[in-house]
Amino acid sequence: MKKYFPFLKGYRPVLGAEGGFLLDDPKGLPFDMEGYSGVYIIETTDNFKFPYPAGNSKVIYIGKADELRSRLSQHRHHLNRLNNSKGEWGMAEEEPWVGSKYQYMYVHGAKVYYYKCRGQQEAKEEESRIMWAFYQKYRALPVGNGAKSYSKL
């Protein structure tokens, strides 16, 4: 499967994501990521694009994991809490605070693309490179990323 993110031009993932799946798909998470560290990109499944200072993008969040399957299971758990609640915008009155990235995923859908680290690659370093590439292209971080988790390379 090939997935092109314009901000990753010239970077290995432009050759294609290891895999992609809907975050709230009841069939479960792909097994080919178990035991791998890596980076993942979550984008909207509808046609909505977020306005950034230098263009529009479907990307909601860029993250890294030392154990991809486990981390994406956590994201799925938080999204399912919103999907299963009865309140406005997916929030029940008694529901505790849920990060804005999950609200975006709830409203616009969430498709995940992931890249497994190979050889000497470190997940944090790869995340920093991808975040910096996104920032350079759009002049802002993805809407779901709250802090600057990258360092200028």
Give the pLDDT of residue 13. Answer: 53
Give the pLDDT of residue 96. Answer: 55
Tell me how many domains the chain contains.
Answer: 1
Give the pLDDT of residue 97. Answer: 61
Low-confidence stretches of the chain (pLDDT < 70) are 1-2, 10-17, 85-99, 147-153
Give the pLDDT of residue 15. Answer: 46
Give the pLDDT of residue 12. Answer: 62
| Contact present, 81 and 98 (Cβ < 8 Å) | yes
147 lies in a domain?
Answer: no
146 lies in a domain?
Answer: no
Give the pLDDT of residue 75. Answer: 92
Domain that holds residue 36: 18-138
144 lies in a domain?
Answer: no
11 lies in a domain?
Answer: no
Q: For residue 82, what are its two tokens? A: 């919103």
